[in-house]
């Protein structure tokens, strides 16, 4: 089974594809799309859409999993991130789609929803055979993909 995980963001969208045979996990690709900061919003959204569409086309994931938008402090920023999330979901049409809250992701990967970033990274390295993601955003995307693979839902 293959899962594409996406950590949506307007300045940086992380992505990662993980495959499993039930005995282990293998990273097929991970990276970060970084649209130009001075580009108009539609162009930035188009960049994320094109990136996710390309990954879906190249790797044919069984499921696409996204990190849900966190609204706690900065509502205007969260609203922009929600637009990115919509673009990602559009790119995932035809695939099973899963969404996970940040605390839920930490719980799946580390066993506790309050795990610090260091614990998350350590557990990710353990589960992925020492793989080191190219960015924090890619690491978050891989964690989301792991959730989808460990979830067990059809």
Residue 19 annotated as catalytic: no
Separation of alpha carbons 39 and 90, rounded Å: 21
Q: Which residue has the tokens 């097929």?
A: 28
Catalytic residue among 19, 62, 68, 136: 136
136 is catalytic: yes
Alpha helices, DSSP H, located in the chain? 41-59, 75-91, 102-110, 117-127, 136-151
- 7, 23, 118, 151: the catalytic one is 7
Catalytic residue among 19, 67, 68, 151: 67
Residues sharing a CB contact under 8 Å with residue 29, sequence separation 6 or more, in sequence order: 15, 16, 17, 55, 58, 59
Q: Is 58 a catalytic residue?
A: no
Q: Name 7's bridge partners.
A: 14
Catalytic residues: 7, 67, 136
């Amino acid at each position: 089974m293959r899962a594409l995980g996406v950590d949506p963001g307007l300045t940086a969208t992380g992505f990662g594809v993980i495959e499993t045979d039930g005995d282990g996990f293998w990273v097929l690709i991970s990276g970060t799309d970084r649209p130009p900061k001075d580009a108009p919003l539609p162009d930035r959204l188009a960049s994320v859409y094109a990136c996710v569409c390309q990954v879906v086309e190249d790797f044919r994931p069984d499921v696409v999993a996204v990190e849900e938008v966190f609204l706690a402090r900065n509502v205007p920023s969260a609203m922009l991130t929600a637009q990115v999330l919509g673009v990602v979901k559009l790119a995932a049409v035809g695939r099973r789609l899963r969404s996970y809250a940040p605390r839920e992701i930490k719980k799946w990967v580390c066993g506790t929803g309050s795990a610090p970033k260091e614990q998350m990274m350590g557990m990710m390295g353990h589960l992925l055979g020492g793989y080191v993601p190219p960015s924090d955003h890619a690491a978050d995307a891989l964690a989301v993909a792991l959730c989808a693979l460990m979830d067990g839902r059809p």
